[in-house]
Chains A and B, each alone.
Chain A
Amino acid sequence: MDKKKPKKVFVKGAIPPEKIATSIANHQSKTNIGAHSIFLGQIRADEIDGKKVSAIDYSAYEEMAENVFHEIREAAFSKFDMTCCHIYHSLGQVKIGEICLFVFTSSAHRKIAIEACNYLVEEIKAKVPIFGKEIFEDETHQWKVNK
Chain B
Amino acid sequence: MKLTLRYFGMIAEATGRTEEILNVSDQIKLYDLKDQQIKKYKIQDPEAVQLVVNQDLNTSTVLKEGDEIAFLPPFAGG
Contact = CB atoms under 8 A, between A and B. Distances in A.
A44 B49 CA distance: 26
Interface in A22-80: 41, 58-61, 63-64, 67
Nearest to B48: A145
Contacts, number: 66
Contacts of A132: 9, 76-77
A104 to B, nearest CB: 14
Interface string B48-78: 1000100100000000000000101111111
B55 A144 contact: no
Contacts of B10: 131, 143
A130 B52 contact: no
In this complex, the interface size class of chain B, counting residues with CB under 8 Å from chain A, is: 10 to 19
B58 to A, nearest CB: 12
In this complex, the interface size class of chain A, counting residues with CB under 8 Å from chain B, is: 20 to 34
Contact of A146 (B8, B52, B70, B77): B77
A130 B72 contact: no
B77 A145 contact: no
A112 interface: no
B76 A130 contact: yes
Interface string A82-126: 000000010000000000110000000000000000000100111
22 contacts: A58-B77, A59-B9, A60-B8, A61-B70, A61-B72, A63-B55, A67-B55, A89-B77, A101-B77, A125-B78, A126-B75, A128-B75, A129-B8, A129-B70, A130-B75, A130-B76, A131-B76, A143-B9, A143-B73, A144-B76, A145-B48, A146-B77
Interface of B: 6, 8-10, 48, 52, 55, 70, 72-78
